[in-house]
C-alpha cells in the first residue's frame, strides 16, 4: 500500500479504514479506530481459539510481532516485551529499579498523568521528584533537561511528544546527554510511535500502547528495555512464563529468563497481540518516514488555515501529528460538538489553568479534502 493510492482511491480507503465511510476521524492522539486488516486479524485469531487451544500458533505470533516492533524501534527483538498498555511499562520501570533514599527523578508535571503518577508514587520510598521547568506547555529541549539535572538524578522520564501542545522532543539528543551523565532515560512514546521515527538508540526504557498512532487495539503495547540495563530492572510480576518452571513444576530457586521476556510473567493478550501484529505490519508497509512526511505536511496546512481564521496554535513551526488551537472568546467544547454533529471527530484537552484546546490529530489515511471541510466549519 502506498499513500497516493490510498488517499486518491475512495473505495480502497474505505475498505482499509472503514471509519472513513461515515466519519472524518481526526482524533488519533486519543483512541483510534482500527483498520480492517486489524479487525480481520483479531477475528481470525478468535475463530481459531474457538476450535482449538487458544495458544495454538502463539509462538509464531509472538516472534512475528516482536520482530515488527523491533524494526519500528530499531532495536533487537531480545529487548522488546509485549506486556500491554503504556501504564504497565512505565510502572514496571518505577517499581523494578532499585531506589535509594535521596535518589532523584526529573519529570514534567504537565505530561499525561500516566507518565507522572508512577514516579510520584516513589516519594513514599524516599525518592525526590524534581519537576522540570519549561517556558511553554510541553516545550522540552536538551538544554532545559541538562540544566536541571543534579548529582543525584537517577532517571529522567519524558514523553516523546506532548499530548496537548504537540511538541516533539529531540529524544536522541536528550538520550545522548543523559547517557554521558550516567542518568537513565525512560520514554513514553505513545504519541509518536507509528507516526514518526522513534529510535531507541539512546533510550533505556520505552513504553507505548497501540491504541493511538499504531492503529492497534487497546492494552496491546510494546515495552522496550535496553539489553545493558535488564539486569538492574527487576520484574514487577512473577509467574510461569518469566521464571523457569520445567513441566510447570515450581522450582526451589527462581531463575528468570535471560532476556526481555523476564517482564512477561503470565499469559498473553493473544487477541490484542494479533491485532497489534497486523497494525505493525501495515505501518511498516506504508513506511514510517512516509507517514511522518505526510503528517508534517498536514500540520503545516492546519496551522496556516487555523491562524487565518483567528486561532492561536501551539508551536506553529513544530512537526508533529498533533495540532491544538484556541481562540479568545470561542468555546472549544461547543466547536468540537459542532464538528461531531457533522461526523467530524476531534477532541478537546485542557491545561492546568483550565484553558480548553481543540485538538486535531489526523493520520496518514485522512485526506486534504477532509481537513479543508473541517476548518471550513470553524
Q: Is the same domain home to 121 and 172? A: yes
Return the number of other C-beta atoms located less than 10 Å from residue 368's C-beta. Answer: 12
pLDDT digits (tens, 9 = 90+) for 302-329: 999 999 999 999 999 999 999 999 999 9
Q: Is the same domain home to 349 and 363? A: yes
Among residues 285, 303, 332, which one ends one of the domains? 285
Instruction: Judge whether 31 lies within some domain.
Output: no
CATH number at residue 340: 3.90.1150.10
**Residue whose C-alpha cell is 538544554:** 143
Among residues 241, 262, 285, which one ends one of the domains? 285
Q: Is the same domain home to 142 and 180? A: yes
Write down the pLDDT at residue 377.
97
pLDDT digits (tens, 9 = 90+) for 68-87: 999 999 999 999 999 989 99
Q: Which residues contact 109 (CB under 8 A, 6 or more apart)?
A: 116, 131, 132
Write down the pLDDT at residue 1.
84
Instruction: Judge whether 76 lies within some domain.
Output: yes
Q: Is the same domain home to 123 and 223? A: yes
Instruction: Judge whether 34 lies within some domain.
Output: no
Q: Is the same domain home to 269 and 295? A: no
Full residue range of the structural domain in which residue 370 is found: 3-26+287-376
Instruction: Judge whether 32 lies within some domain.
Output: no
> Which residues of the chain fall short of a pLDDT of 50?
none
Q: Is the same domain home to 295 and 272? A: no
Q: Which residues contact 356 (CB under 8 A, 6 or more apart)?
A: 326, 331, 332, 333, 348, 349, 350
Among residues 270, 285, 300, which one ends one of the domains? 285
Is residue 80 a contact partner of residue 224, using CB atoms and an 8 Å limit? yes
CATH number at residue 155: 3.40.640.10
**φ, ψ of residue 208 in degrees (nearest 5):** -160, 125
Instruction: Judge whether 274 lies within some domain.
Output: yes
Write down the pLDDT at residue 335.
98
Instruction: Judge whether 33 lies within some domain.
Output: no
Write down the pLDDT at residue 264.
96
Q: Is the same domain home to 233 and 341? A: no
Write down the pLDDT at residue 84.
86
**Cα(278)–Cα(198) distance, integer angstroms:** 19
Q: Is the same domain home to 279 and 293? A: no
Domain count, the chain: 2
Q: Is the same domain home to 149 and 293? A: no
pLDDT digits (tens, 9 = 90+) for 13-45: 999 999 999 999 999 999 999 999 999 999 999
Q: Is the same domain home to 338 and 356? A: yes
Q: Is the same domain home to 65 and 150? A: yes
Write down the pLDDT at residue 27.
98
Amino acid at each position: 500500500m502506498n499513500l497516493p493510492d490510498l488517499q486518491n482511491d475512495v473505495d480502497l480507503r474505505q475498505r482499509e479504514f472503514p471509519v472513513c465511510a461515515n466519519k472524518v476521524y481526526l482524533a488519533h492522539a486519543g483512541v483510534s479506530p482500527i483498520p480492517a486488516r486489524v479487525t480481520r486479524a483479531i477475528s481470525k485469531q478468535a475463530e481459531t481459539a474457538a476450535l482449538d487451544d487458544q495458544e495454538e500458533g502463539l509462538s509464531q505470533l509472538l516472534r512475528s510481532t516482536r520482530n515488527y516492533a523491533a524494526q519500528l524501534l530499531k532495536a533487537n527483538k531480545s529487548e522488546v516485551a509485549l506486556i500491554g498498555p503504556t501504564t504497565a511499562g512505565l510502572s514496571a520501570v518505577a517499581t523494578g529499579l532499585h531506589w535509594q533514599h535521596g535518589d532523584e527523578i526529573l519529570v514534567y508535571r504537565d505530561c499525561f498523568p500516566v507518565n507522572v503518577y508512577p514516579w510520584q508514587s516513589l516519594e513514599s520510598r524516599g525518592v525526590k521528584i524534581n519537576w522540570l521547568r519549561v517556558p511553554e506547555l510541553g516545550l522540552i529541549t536538551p538544554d532545559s533537561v541538562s540544566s536541571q539535572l543534579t548529582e543525584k538524578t537517577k532517571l529522567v522520564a519524558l514523553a516523546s511528544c506532548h499530548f496537548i501542545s504537540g511538541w516533539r522532543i529531540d529524544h536522541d539528543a536528550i538520550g545522548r546527554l543523559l547517557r554521558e551523565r550516567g542518568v537513565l532515560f525512560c520514554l513514553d512514546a505513545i504519541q509518536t510511535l507509528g507516526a514518526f521515527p522513534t529510535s531507541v538508540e539512546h533510550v533505556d526504557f520505552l513504553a507505548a500502547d497501540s491504541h493511538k498512532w499504531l492503529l492497534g487495539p487497546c492494552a496491546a503495547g510494546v515495552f522496550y528495555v535496553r539489553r545493558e540495563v535488564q539486569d538492574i530492572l527487576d520484574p514487577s510480576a512473577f509467574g510461569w512464563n518469566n521464571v523457569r518452571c520445567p513441566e510447570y513444576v515450581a522450582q526451589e530457586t527462581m531463575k528468570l529468563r535471560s532476556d526481555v521476556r523476564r517482564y512477561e510473567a503470565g499469559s498473553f493478550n493473544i487477541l490484542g497481540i494479533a491485532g497489534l501484529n497486523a497494525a505493525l505490519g501495515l505501518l511498516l508497509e506504508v513506511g514510517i518516514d512516509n507517514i511522518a512526511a505526510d503528517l508534517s505536511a498536514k500540520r503545516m496546512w492546519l496551522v496556516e488555515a487555523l491562524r487565518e481564521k483567528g486561532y492561536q496554535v501551539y508551536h506553529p513551526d513544530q512537526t508533529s501529528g498533533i495540532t491544538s488551537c484556541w481562540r479568545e472568546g470561542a468555546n472549544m467544547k461547543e466547536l468540537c460538538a459542532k464538528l461531531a454533529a457533522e461526523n467530524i471527530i476531534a477532541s478537546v484537552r485542557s491545561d492546568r489553568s483550565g484553558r480548553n484546546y481543540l485538538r486535531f490529530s489526523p493520520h496518514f489515511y485522512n485526506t486534504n479534502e477532509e481537513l479543508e471541510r473541517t476548518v471550513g466549519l470553524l
